[in-house]
Amino acid sequence: MNKTVITINQLSRVFKQTVAVDKLSLEVHAGEIFGFLGHNGAGKTTTVRLLNGVIEPTSGNMRVLDLDPQVDGPALRARTGVLTETPSMDERLTAWDNLSIYAELYGVPRADVSTRIKALLTEFDLADRAQEKVGGYSKGMKQRLALARALLHKPELLFLDEATSGLDPIAAHHVNNLIERMARREGCTVFLCTHNLVEAQKLCDRVAILEHGRLVALGTPAELTSQYVRRLDVEIEVPAEQVPTTLAVLRSLPKLVLGEPTQPNSALVVTINKYESIPEVLDCLVQNHVRVYRLAPQEANLEQVYFTLHEEKEGVQ
């Protein structure tokens, strides 16, 4: 097993009456892309602040890169990079000035500062606008510049808080490729806070789902989908004249088919109770002389896990 770079044990943080993080326990391993999912206000940003020694916990303990963030905050922050939720750039300064000042703050060797900044600005397609004030940048450009800043000192552990928020699809794709490269080729551990579930599904080795500061699920995307997704959406394509018959057959199977089938396009979409019911549904259709052209189970994803957990939580409340 890979070395553990983050160990969190019963970590809590309370702001006046609000419990932002509630008895959180988890581990993050070296070199993995760890997704930290949750809605706005779930406690993601507070956790990042705690893990970097920026704020103090109310209770519990943690180790990050074998350091205690409360005791060794400066030493720890020299080895982590953080992309904050808002780009947090000095808009009155140029991109170059912003990066050169942070290179000094992160202790990048003086001889390497210029080369490093040039390389990052080129990587993020900002080199030709390096001497412009950041105030004139678009949101996506600011976000890319903020990401470049987080990478200036080649961190071992990278915290990304909504890394692709505000980026156009091409820029988001570029950033996602970069995250993968950082983790897969350069061995950097990535702690990715997001509510973009598609992105998390695609990028993350493991994910934790947070609800109101409390951990409600932890595992690989595949583990979580098999554990939490009990329903399955299936696309069934039949001849147009057989749609009424198909609907009638499906409605006659209330134990297997949940809710009312829909027809968003040429195919019907049916929610069935579990994967193992597919042969039985198909059998009934064939017995009723329905000519099934295509039956395609849709892959369960983190989005379904997320909504299942959310519904459960709301149901309890």
Partner 1 sequence: MNGRAIFAIIRKDLKVVLQNKGLVVPLLITFLVFFVVFPGLSALIPSIVTDFNPDAGDIEKLISQMQPGLQQELSGLNMSQKATVFLLVHMMAPMFLIVPLIVATTVAADSFAGEKERKTMEALLYTPTTDRELFVAKLLSAWLAAVATALAGFVMYSITANTASWSHMGRLFFPNAMWLVMIIWVVPAVAGLGLSVMVLASARAQGYQDAYQIGGAVVLPVLGLFYAQISGVMYFNIVAVLLMGLVFWLLDGLLIWFGSRIFRRGRLLSA
Closest distance between partner 1 and the C-beta of residue 118, in Å? 19
Give phi and psi for 77, each to the nearest 5: -65, -20
CB-based contacts of 204: which residues, under 8 Å, 6+ apart?
33, 34, 35, 192, 221
Part in contact with partner 1 (CB under 8 A); list of ranges 4-12, 103-111, 168-176, 241-249: 103-111
Pairing of strands 268-272, 232-237: antiparallel
Among 9, 25, 59, 86, binds partner 1 (CB under 8 A): 86
Name the one range near partner 1 by CB under 8 A: 32-40, 69-77, 228-236, 297-305: 69-77
- The distance of Cα 5 from the centroid of its chain, to the nearest Å, equals 19
Residue 294's DSSP bridge partners are 237
Q: Report how far apart the first and last C-alpha atoms of the chain are (Å, whole number).
A: 38
Least spacing, CB of residue 194 vs partner 1, in Å = 18
The piece of 79-87, 201-209, 254-262, 307-315 that touches partner 1 (CB under 8 A) is 79-87
- Cβ atoms 302, 219 nearer than 8 A: no
Site string for partner 1, 114-143 (x = CB under 8 A): -------------------x----------
90 part of the interface to partner 1, by CB under 8 A? yes
Among residues 97, 112, 123, 180, which is the contact residue for partner 1, using CB under 8 A? 97
Phi, psi (degrees; rounded to nearest 5) at 226: -70, -30
Q: Which of 4, 7, 58, 84 binds partner 1 (CB under 8 A)?
A: 84
Q: Residue 7 corresponds to which tokens in the numbers above?
A: 């160990």
Contact, 174 vs 148, CB < 8 A? no
Residue 55 binds partner 1, judged by CB under 8 A: yes
Which of 102/137 has CB closer to partner 1? 102
Shortest distance (Å) from residue 101 CB to partner 1: 5
107 binds partner 1 (CB under 8 A): yes
CB of 293 to partner 1, least distance (A): 55
Binding positions for partner 1, 3-32, rule CB under 8 A: 15
Instruction: Tell me how many residues contact partner 1 (CB under 8 A).
Output: 32
DSSP, collapsed to helix, strand or coil, labels residue 116 as: helix
- Identified binder of partner 1 from the candidate list 44, 116, 142, 149, rule CB under 8 A: 149
- Does residue 91 bind partner 1 (CB under 8 A)? yes
Beta strands 214-219 and 33-37, pairing class: unpaired
Q: Which of 106, 124, 228, 306 binds partner 1 (CB under 8 A)?
A: 106
Decide: is 66 part of the binding site for partner 1 (CB under 8 A): no
Rounded distance, CA 272 to CA 281, Å? 9
Q: Minimum distance between the CB of residue 22 and partner 1, rounded to whole angstroms?
A: 18
Long-range residue pairs from 138-143, CB within 8 A, at least 24 positions apart, any chain: 139/87, 139/166, 140/166, 140/167, 140/168, 140/171, 142/87, 142/89, 143/87, 143/167, 143/171
Helices 110-123 and 139-151: crossing angle in degrees, nearest 10, is 140
User: Contact between 44 and partner 1 (CB under 8 A)?
Assistant: no
Regarding 144 and contact with partner 1 (CB under 8 A), the answer is no
From CA 164, how far away is CA 174, in angstroms rounded? 10
Interface residues with partner 1 (CB under 8 A) are 15, 49, 52-56, 73-75, 77-78, 80, 82, 84, 86, 88-93, 97, 101-102, 104-107, 133, 146, 149
